[in-house]
A and B are shown apart, each in its own frame.
Chain A
């Protein structure tokens, strides 16, 4: 049977318009792909409702790029009538009564959600191994991680199951998995896209994001999802904007820089691929120069991000009590405190508990100054330094990860003793709320490598346009495991 879901959104849309395929056939293909999953990429399935919506779709207009096309949502998006666990036992059995705003907007565009995807528990992690269903594997090499926390979304799109998936990005959770799986991963400006219905991890950092197989598709999603939402007062008032035009015209500036200190800490294969991208950009007339960003500030990214995110998560996740859903507390509990302790003990994995304790301790009145507030102060110093850099340059371009995806059996789950900024610099865009995009840049022994571009706040169109320039240089479009092999 001819396959369609391993194509780009643009190509599938053309096939729908020409009548080559129907939405119902696409949902059936998605169901077959999901059944063949080898990566442990899936939480709940929603094929039945997707089939029903596919049948009900009217004529697909030429401008409805997402209509009739199946997609996946990370399991931290509230989905009406579909269990939503954020891959945590504490949320088992939680069936939302409403859709997250991004799910609602995609529905309005005729998009068909076919399943939810696995993730690091409550989005707290970068390995894709801490969810309640166990490790999610990289389709390019099942012994390796797909990255996290949007692991299932990345693995499934790279496997060619669907053309795109929603993720969420608090520190790099869309953009790092994109690098490890040969995808395009976009984190828009903080506030550009509504987070209503996204289970919160760290509100001052959380951003809706998505994984696609080309930059154009990412722009099509940005066009559909960006915009003020009255239910999320952190969304920004912005005029409607067509990001597809930005990509097609290669919009945005032409001055980019990189941090030599990061490049030096990357593997030889990553350095080589990055240098090829830089040379290609220069041939296109783009200026790419070294920028000497203070390494003390690069070292500060990891503790600053970790302390702030742990503190915010501790507060956000205090609401889970096991009363209405999740693992019910012990029937022997004599008080609600005992019941809740019993439920939370079984509901969270050890890593999550460790992060909550660090967050809680950092928030104690006697520690706040030296811990939480110090991290918040460091955040300002880092972001101000970054904004000074953006006065000279339009974009920061760096390898998205210093190596290929690590092997699952070589992971460490402890607080990193070394700040390892080559592995953590993507969090800069979360600290400053900037748009940031990862694009494939090559392979190392058959494993994907990604390059990241970060721009100024609200220059989302420029970042996407610059990403298209990189795609022009590499020619790496619509990578799926089947195609690469």
Chain B
């Protein structure tokens, strides 16, 4: 039996907001079995579980010189900000309703 079930994988996909193609959940389940075996090998390396997690390749001591001055900048104009959008209403990007169906419904005209 696989270490990570098809149902768990499908739940992950839902949380990540995409659907999987047929057969992908089974494939990922097999990949997890391989991965778990490799992670167990990692745990068997002396000192691994006692080591401090490494989040950057090497230690850096940040100083004030590493922070840039907080200088005001001219923000993007509406025309540039809207340049990439699929659709717009006035000077705003048109997006789908953000409240689920059946809840309070603000129509586009309310925006």
Contact = CB atoms under 8 A, between A and B. Distances in A.
A341 B65 CA distance: 42
Contact of A374 (B19, B30, B49, B97): B49
Contacts of A233: 62, 66-68
A190 B76 CA distance: 31
Nearest to B69: A230
Given A233-B67, A335-B101, A381 B47 contact: yes
Contacts of A350: 20-21, 24
A361 interface: yes
Nearest to B50: A377
Given A336-B97, A339-B96, A433 B58 contact: yes
A307 B39 contact: yes
Contact of B84 (A324, A370, A430): A324
Interface residues of A, number: 74
A335 B58 contact: no
A302 B35 CA distance: 10
Nearest to B85: A324
A376 interface: yes
Nearest to A431: B57
Interface string A331-352: 0011111111100110110100
Nearest to B15: A360
Interface residues of B, number: 60
A380 interface: yes
B86 interface: yes
A97 B83 contact: yes
Contact of A300 (B34, B42, B60): B42
Contact of B52 (A325, A354, A370, A380): A380
Contact of B18 (A306, A325, A348, A384): A348
Given A307-B39, A345-B18, A204 B30 contact: no
A348 B28 CA distance: 16
Contacts of B86: 93, 323-325, 328
Contact of A297 (B21, B28, B45): B45
B16 A357 contact: yes
A353 B13 contact: yes
21 contacts: A190-B56, A204-B57, A237-B65, A297-B45, A303-B38, A325-B86, A334-B96, A335-B96, A337-B17, A338-B96, A340-B17, A356-B16, A360-B12, A361-B8, A373-B53, A375-B39, A378-B48, A431-B54, A432-B58, A433-B58, A457-B57
Given A357-B28, A376-B54, 9 more contacts: A300-B41, A324-B85, A335-B96, A335-B98, A338-B96, A340-B17, A341-B14, A353-B20, A381-B47
